[in-house]
Amino acid sequence: MSHFRNFKKIMAVAAATTMLMLTGCGKSISTSDVNDTPPTTNSNQSGNIIVLTLHPDAAPITCENFEKLVNEGFYNGLTFHRVVDEFMAQGGDPKGDGTGGSSDTIKGEFAANGVNNPLSHQRGVVSMARSMDYDSASSQFFICYTGNYASSLDGQYAAFANVTEGMEVVDDFMKVERDLNSMGEMASPKTPIKMEKVEMIAPDENGAPRVMITMNDFIQK
């Protein structure tokens, strides 16, 4: 039975990304709007902070697109609409149901699409959701809870970042009560898990870009 449950979880990822009806066509993407003096993680008082470190060396197109959306304020107020226990949390959809995205789609930077991306889908790794079309990713992304599914995700999805602070906040998503979603998963949060503010912050000590996500108080006291 455990093998069957694992198989169902893996198939659920494929089903969810198939449902992403993203539109748009490869417009030129620029990151010229990045602040000259981005804030540090000390600029917010909330304890619900998640920091992502991007890896443009592994997925330059994906990182550039993600930074562009962050600088435009695209993610502010959006939610994590799908949380699957011990698997992943998915968010970044303006429709909030897994069917939306931004106007631009990008090339999928993973092996099945002819791109050498060395990042593996281990715990805390951030990757792009997509439809069956390899080049359909736009704004939706997911954060891995475990590396148990790396063998099915590696080479098929564009990993581009990892959580370097606040993984315990991502773990807390699993404490939120959930309803059945359209795929029959108990994965749709009853209380919105909202990204109140998403912004670029100062690079890490190696110069890697970083993103800070300030979450709402999604756990009911």
Residue 78 has pLDDT above 70, yes or no: yes
Residue 23 has pLDDT above 90, yes or no: no
Per the DSSP assignment, residues forming a β-bridge with 163 are: 52
Other C-beta atoms closer than 10 Å to the C-beta of 151 total 11
Q: Which pLDDT score, from 0 to 100, does residue 46 have?
A: 54
Q: Which pLDDT score, from 0 to 100, does residue 17 have?
A: 39
Band of the pLDDT at 45, cuts 50, 70, 90? very low
Residue 190 has pLDDT above 80, yes or no: yes
For 188, the token pair is: 């749709």
Residue 37 has pLDDT above 80, yes or no: no
Residue 8 has pLDDT above 70, yes or no: no
Residue 210 has pLDDT above 60, yes or no: yes
Band of the pLDDT at 41, cuts 50, 70, 90? low
Per the DSSP assignment, residues forming a β-bridge with 199 are: 212
Domain ranges of the chain: 2-24+43-215
Residue 128 has pLDDT above 50, yes or no: yes
Band of the pLDDT at 47, cuts 50, 70, 90? confident
The per-residue b/e assignment along 182-207, b for 16 or more CB within 10 angstroms, e otherwise, is ebebebbbeeebbbbbbbbbeeeeee
Percent of the chain past pLDDT 70, that is, above it, reads 79
- Of 115, 168, 109, which Cα lies nearest the Cα of 137? 109
Q: How far apart are CA 37 and CA 146, in angstroms?
A: 34
Q: How far apart are CA 201 and CA 213, in angstroms?
A: 10
Classify domain 2-24+43-215 by CATH architecture. Answer: Beta Barrel (2.40)
Q: Please report, to the nearest 10 degrees, the dihedral formed by the alpha carbons of residues 14, 19, 25, 30 taken in order.
A: -70
Say whether 72 sits in a helix, a strand or coil: helix
